[in-house]
Structure 1
Amino acid sequence: MKANLGCWFEIPVSDMNRAVKFYETVFNIKMHIEDFCGTQMGHFPFAKDKEAAGAAGALIYNPKYYTPGTNGVMLYLSSQVDDVSVELSRVEAAGGKPIVEKMQITEEIGYMAAFIDTEGNRIALHSKN
Protein backbone atom coordinates (compact mmCIF):
# COMPACT_ATOMS: atom_id res chain seq x y z
CA MET A 1 0.00 0.00 0.00
CA LYS A 2 1.14 3.53 -0.76
CA ALA A 3 -0.60 4.99 2.33
CA ASN A 4 -2.66 3.88 5.31
CA LEU A 5 -6.32 3.35 4.53
CA GLY A 6 -7.58 5.91 7.05
CA CYS A 7 -7.49 9.44 5.64
CA TRP A 8 -10.08 11.57 7.53
CA PHE A 9 -12.11 11.33 10.74
CA GLU A 10 -15.09 13.13 12.23
CA ILE A 11 -15.99 13.09 15.93
CA PRO A 12 -19.70 13.87 16.54
CA VAL A 13 -20.49 16.54 19.13
CA SER A 14 -23.61 17.94 20.79
CA ASP A 15 -21.99 21.24 21.81
CA MET A 16 -19.20 22.49 19.55
CA ASN A 17 -17.80 25.12 21.94
CA ARG A 18 -17.68 22.67 24.86
CA ALA A 19 -16.03 19.99 22.69
CA VAL A 20 -13.47 22.41 21.24
CA LYS A 21 -12.53 23.61 24.73
CA PHE A 22 -12.12 19.97 25.87
CA TYR A 23 -9.84 18.92 22.98
CA GLU A 24 -7.83 22.15 23.08
CA THR A 25 -7.22 21.58 26.80
CA VAL A 26 -6.39 17.86 26.60
CA PHE A 27 -4.04 18.15 23.60
CA ASN A 28 -2.75 21.70 24.21
CA ILE A 29 -3.77 22.76 20.69
CA LYS A 30 -5.85 25.44 18.98
CA MET A 31 -8.77 24.44 16.76
CA HIS A 32 -10.52 26.34 13.99
CA ILE A 33 -14.35 26.31 13.82
CA GLU A 34 -16.19 26.87 10.55
CA ASP A 35 -19.57 26.31 8.94
CA PHE A 36 -19.23 23.87 6.06
CA CYS A 37 -22.39 23.61 3.96
CA GLY A 38 -24.64 23.96 7.01
CA THR A 39 -22.58 21.67 9.23
CA GLN A 40 -20.43 23.09 12.01
CA MET A 41 -16.88 21.71 12.04
CA GLY A 42 -14.04 22.18 14.54
CA HIS A 43 -10.82 21.30 12.72
CA PHE A 44 -7.90 19.66 14.48
CA PRO A 45 -4.53 21.15 13.47
CA PHE A 46 -2.91 19.17 10.68
CA ALA A 47 0.52 18.82 9.12
CA LYS A 48 1.07 20.86 5.96
CA ASP A 49 3.38 18.10 4.67
CA LYS A 50 1.21 15.77 2.57
CA GLU A 51 3.62 12.94 3.41
CA ALA A 52 3.08 13.29 7.17
CA ALA A 53 1.74 10.22 8.96
CA GLY A 54 -1.78 10.08 10.34
CA ALA A 55 -5.17 11.36 9.24
CA ALA A 56 -6.63 14.84 9.55
CA GLY A 57 -10.05 15.32 11.10
CA ALA A 58 -12.61 17.46 12.81
CA LEU A 59 -15.29 17.66 15.45
CA ILE A 60 -18.65 17.78 13.71
CA TYR A 61 -22.04 19.12 14.75
CA ASN A 62 -25.03 18.11 12.67
CA PRO A 63 -27.63 16.34 14.85
CA LYS A 64 -29.53 15.14 11.77
CA TYR A 65 -26.63 12.88 10.73
CA TYR A 66 -24.23 12.58 13.69
CA THR A 67 -24.79 11.29 17.23
CA PRO A 68 -22.01 11.07 19.83
CA GLY A 69 -21.68 7.73 21.60
CA THR A 70 -19.47 5.09 23.16
CA ASN A 71 -20.46 2.25 20.82
CA GLY A 72 -18.97 1.81 17.40
CA VAL A 73 -15.61 2.73 15.96
CA MET A 74 -12.70 3.36 18.32
CA LEU A 75 -10.64 6.33 17.15
CA TYR A 76 -7.01 6.57 18.31
CA LEU A 77 -5.45 10.04 18.55
CA SER A 78 -1.68 10.44 18.76
CA SER A 79 -0.10 11.85 21.90
CA GLN A 80 1.47 15.19 21.04
CA VAL A 81 4.31 14.58 23.53
CA ASP A 82 4.69 10.83 22.85
CA ASP A 83 3.33 9.80 26.25
CA VAL A 84 -0.42 9.13 26.55
CA SER A 85 -0.31 9.69 30.30
CA VAL A 86 0.23 13.44 29.69
CA GLU A 87 -3.00 13.94 27.73
CA LEU A 88 -4.89 11.45 29.91
CA SER A 89 -3.92 13.49 32.99
CA ARG A 90 -5.81 16.49 31.52
CA VAL A 91 -9.03 14.63 30.63
CA GLU A 92 -10.89 14.79 33.95
CA ALA A 93 -10.15 18.47 34.62
CA ALA A 94 -11.39 19.24 31.09
CA GLY A 95 -14.72 17.50 31.77
CA GLY A 96 -14.06 14.01 30.40
CA LYS A 97 -13.64 10.63 32.07
CA PRO A 98 -10.56 8.37 31.80
CA ILE A 99 -11.68 4.77 31.19
CA VAL A 100 -8.42 2.92 30.39
CA GLU A 101 -5.20 3.93 32.12
CA LYS A 102 -1.93 3.87 30.18
CA MET A 103 -1.07 0.31 29.18
CA GLN A 104 1.43 -1.26 26.84
CA ILE A 105 -0.06 -2.81 23.72
CA THR A 106 3.20 -4.46 22.65
CA GLU A 107 6.81 -3.34 22.79
CA GLU A 108 6.76 -2.66 19.05
CA ILE A 109 3.39 -0.85 18.90
CA GLY A 110 3.69 1.16 22.10
CA TYR A 111 1.06 2.34 24.58
CA MET A 112 -2.61 3.25 24.69
CA ALA A 113 -5.14 4.80 27.03
CA ALA A 114 -8.80 5.75 26.56
CA PHE A 115 -11.37 8.27 27.76
CA ILE A 116 -14.94 9.48 27.31
CA ASP A 117 -14.99 13.06 26.04
CA THR A 118 -17.47 15.77 27.09
CA GLU A 119 -19.80 14.68 24.29
CA GLY A 120 -19.97 11.02 25.30
CA ASN A 121 -17.55 9.65 22.68
CA ARG A 122 -15.07 6.90 23.53
CA ILE A 123 -11.64 7.97 22.27
CA ALA A 124 -8.24 6.27 22.60
CA LEU A 125 -4.74 7.69 22.78
CA HIS A 126 -1.56 6.19 21.34
CA SER A 127 2.16 6.78 21.93
CA LYS A 128 5.40 4.88 21.46
CA ASN A 129 6.50 5.69 25.03
Structure 2
Amino acid sequence: MHNRNTAISFQPENFNIWFELPVTDLEKAVSFYNTVFRTELTVVPEAGQNPIAMFPVKEGGRAGHLYPGKPPARGSGPTVHLPVPDTIEATAKRLKEAGGEVVSGLVSIPAGNFTYCLDPDGNSISLFSK
Protein backbone atom coordinates (compact mmCIF):
# COMPACT_ATOMS: atom_id res chain seq x y z
CA MET A 1 0.00 0.00 0.00
CA HIS A 2 1.40 3.41 -0.94
CA ASN A 3 1.70 5.87 1.90
CA ARG A 4 0.87 9.28 0.44
CA ASN A 5 2.24 11.04 3.54
CA THR A 6 5.79 9.86 2.83
CA ALA A 7 7.87 12.16 0.64
CA ILE A 8 10.44 9.47 -0.22
CA SER A 9 9.60 5.98 -1.43
CA PHE A 10 11.87 3.22 -0.09
CA GLN A 11 13.49 1.55 -3.11
CA PRO A 12 16.44 -0.66 -2.15
CA GLU A 13 18.70 -2.23 -4.77
CA ASN A 14 17.18 -5.64 -3.93
CA PHE A 15 13.98 -6.07 -1.95
CA ASN A 16 14.66 -9.75 -1.35
CA ILE A 17 17.57 -10.10 1.06
CA TRP A 18 17.46 -13.76 2.14
CA PHE A 19 15.21 -16.80 2.05
CA GLU A 20 14.70 -19.69 4.44
CA LEU A 21 13.03 -22.97 3.47
CA PRO A 22 11.79 -25.27 6.24
CA VAL A 23 12.38 -28.98 5.64
CA THR A 24 11.43 -32.09 7.59
CA ASP A 25 14.75 -33.90 7.04
CA LEU A 26 17.78 -31.65 6.50
CA GLU A 27 20.06 -34.40 5.17
CA LYS A 28 17.51 -35.56 2.57
CA ALA A 29 16.72 -31.98 1.56
CA VAL A 30 20.42 -31.17 1.08
CA SER A 31 20.76 -34.24 -1.14
CA PHE A 32 17.68 -33.19 -3.16
CA TYR A 33 18.87 -29.62 -3.77
CA ASN A 34 22.46 -30.70 -4.48
CA THR A 35 21.20 -33.19 -7.09
CA VAL A 36 18.65 -30.90 -8.73
CA PHE A 37 20.80 -27.77 -8.90
CA ARG A 38 24.20 -29.49 -9.30
CA THR A 39 25.58 -27.60 -6.32
CA GLU A 40 27.00 -28.19 -2.85
CA LEU A 41 25.07 -26.71 0.04
CA THR A 42 27.19 -26.06 3.12
CA VAL A 43 25.83 -27.50 6.35
CA VAL A 44 26.42 -25.27 9.36
CA PRO A 45 25.82 -27.55 12.38
CA GLU A 46 25.34 -24.84 14.99
CA ALA A 47 23.78 -21.78 13.42
CA GLY A 48 21.67 -20.30 16.17
CA GLN A 49 19.42 -22.99 17.63
CA ASN A 50 19.26 -25.26 14.57
CA PRO A 51 21.66 -26.57 11.97
CA ILE A 52 21.19 -24.99 8.55
CA ALA A 53 22.33 -25.75 5.01
CA MET A 54 23.47 -22.70 3.04
CA PHE A 55 23.01 -22.30 -0.71
CA PRO A 56 26.38 -21.33 -2.23
CA VAL A 57 26.81 -18.05 -4.11
CA LYS A 58 29.69 -16.03 -5.49
CA GLU A 59 31.16 -13.38 -3.20
CA GLY A 60 28.66 -10.56 -2.69
CA GLY A 61 25.73 -12.70 -3.85
CA ARG A 62 22.52 -13.29 -1.97
CA ALA A 63 21.13 -16.70 -1.17
CA GLY A 64 19.31 -18.50 1.60
CA HIS A 65 19.27 -21.70 3.55
CA LEU A 66 17.35 -24.82 4.49
CA TYR A 67 16.53 -25.43 8.13
CA PRO A 68 14.75 -28.15 10.11
CA GLY A 69 11.19 -26.94 10.50
CA LYS A 70 7.58 -27.41 9.56
CA PRO A 71 6.94 -26.59 5.89
CA PRO A 72 3.66 -24.83 5.03
CA ALA A 73 0.79 -26.85 3.64
CA ARG A 74 1.86 -28.35 0.31
CA GLY A 75 2.37 -25.54 -2.19
CA SER A 76 0.72 -22.88 -0.03
CA GLY A 77 3.73 -20.83 1.07
CA PRO A 78 5.63 -18.21 -0.89
CA THR A 79 7.56 -19.26 -4.00
CA VAL A 80 11.34 -19.02 -4.08
CA HIS A 81 12.69 -18.63 -7.63
CA LEU A 82 16.01 -20.46 -8.03
CA PRO A 83 18.40 -20.22 -11.00
CA VAL A 84 19.02 -23.39 -12.99
CA PRO A 85 22.58 -24.60 -13.69
CA ASP A 86 21.79 -25.62 -17.27
CA THR A 87 18.27 -25.64 -18.77
CA ILE A 88 14.86 -25.59 -17.13
CA GLU A 89 14.04 -28.88 -18.88
CA ALA A 90 17.17 -30.69 -17.65
CA THR A 91 16.76 -29.32 -14.12
CA ALA A 92 13.06 -30.27 -14.09
CA LYS A 93 13.99 -33.83 -15.09
CA ARG A 94 16.46 -34.08 -12.17
CA LEU A 95 13.86 -32.54 -9.85
CA LYS A 96 11.25 -35.17 -10.76
CA GLU A 97 13.77 -38.02 -10.48
CA ALA A 98 14.81 -36.74 -7.02
CA GLY A 99 11.22 -36.70 -5.71
CA GLY A 100 10.02 -33.19 -6.55
CA GLU A 101 7.01 -32.25 -8.63
CA VAL A 102 6.62 -29.86 -11.59
CA VAL A 103 3.25 -28.12 -11.19
CA SER A 104 3.12 -25.72 -14.16
CA GLY A 105 4.21 -25.26 -17.70
CA LEU A 106 6.81 -22.72 -18.73
CA VAL A 107 6.00 -19.13 -17.76
CA SER A 108 7.69 -16.29 -19.65
CA ILE A 109 8.20 -12.85 -18.09
CA PRO A 110 10.44 -9.96 -19.19
CA ALA A 111 13.21 -11.11 -16.79
CA GLY A 112 13.27 -14.69 -18.14
CA ASN A 113 11.41 -18.00 -17.95
CA PHE A 114 10.42 -20.26 -15.08
CA THR A 115 8.26 -23.18 -14.07
CA TYR A 116 6.57 -23.71 -10.72
CA CYS A 117 7.60 -26.81 -8.76
CA LEU A 118 7.34 -28.37 -5.32
CA ASP A 119 10.25 -29.85 -3.40
CA PRO A 120 9.66 -33.14 -1.53
CA ASP A 121 8.49 -31.16 1.54
CA GLY A 122 5.91 -29.23 -0.51
CA ASN A 123 7.83 -25.93 -0.56
CA SER A 124 6.95 -23.87 -3.63
CA ILE A 125 10.04 -23.22 -5.74
CA SER A 126 10.54 -22.27 -9.35
CA LEU A 127 13.23 -23.22 -11.80
CA PHE A 128 14.32 -19.89 -13.32
CA SER A 129 16.40 -19.08 -16.40
CA LYS A 130 17.18 -15.72 -18.05
CA contact (8 A) 1:13 1:60 kept: yes
State the Cα distance separating 1:44 from its structure 2 match: 0.6
1:59 and 1:101 map into 2 onto residues whose CA distance is 26
TM norm structure 1: 0.82
Aligned to 1:68: 71
- On the 8 A contact 2:77/2:123 being kept in 1, the answer is no
The offset of 1:2, in angstroms, is 5.0
| Aligned length in residues | 117
8 A Cα contact 1:39 1:60, kept in partner = yes
SS at match of 2:105: strand
Asked which structure has the greater CA Rg, the reply is 2
Deviation per residue, 1:44-79 (Å, 9 max, x gap): 11111x2x4xx3110011x3xxx2132121111112
Against the structure 1 CA distance between its residues 2 and 120, is the aligned structure 2 distance closer, same or farther, given a 3 Å change threshold?
A: closer
| 2:79–2:123 Cα contact (<8 Å) kept | no
Determine whether 1:120 maps to 2:122.
yes
Q: Which amino acid aligns with 1:85?
A: E
Residue identity (%): 30
User: SS of the residue aligned with 2:30?
Assistant: helix
1:74 & 1:97 partners in 2: Cα distance?
14
- Once residues 58 and 13 of structure 2 are traced to their aligned partners in structure 1, the CA distance between those partners, rounded to angstroms, is 15
Equivalent position to 2:21, from 5, 11, 22? 11
Give, as a single letter, the amino acid of the residue that structure 2 aligns with 1:57: G
Instruction: Report 1:48-87 matches (<5 A).
Output: 48=59, 50=60, 52=61, 55-61=62-68, 63=69, 67-69=70-72, 70-81=75-86, 83-87=87-91
Structure 2: state its 5+ residue gaps. 1-10
